[in-house]
Amino acid sequence: MYASSNFRTKKAFKQAVEDGEQVTLFAPGYGAPKTDGTESVEGPWSPAMHTWYASVTVRNGLVVNVK
């Protein structure tokens, strides 16, 4: 599962969500992500792939919390 923006760090991802940026999730080739609940997210997509991982809370399709 990936965030809609290609955040280089987990810190940048968390800060964007705290600042109110509307971040959604996607899973290429694996169907639709949950619209409510918890998901595991990894990033960035490229060039240095999967250097951070996070657990997120999703409400109405938007990430509202990053742990």
16 burial level (CB within 10 Å; 0-12, 13-18, 19+): middle
| 8 Å CB contact between 2 and 53 | no
Give me the phi and psi of 39, to 5 degrees please.
Answer: -140, 160
**pLDDT score of 31:** 84
Give the SS3 label for residue 18: helix
Compute the distance between CA of residue 59 and CA of residue 48 in angstroms, rounded to an integer: 29
Report mean pLDDT in 10-residue bins for the chain, 67 residues. Answer: 96 98 93 93 92 98 98
Residues spanned by the domain of 36: 2-66
Whole-model pTM? 0.92
How many domains is the chain built from? 1
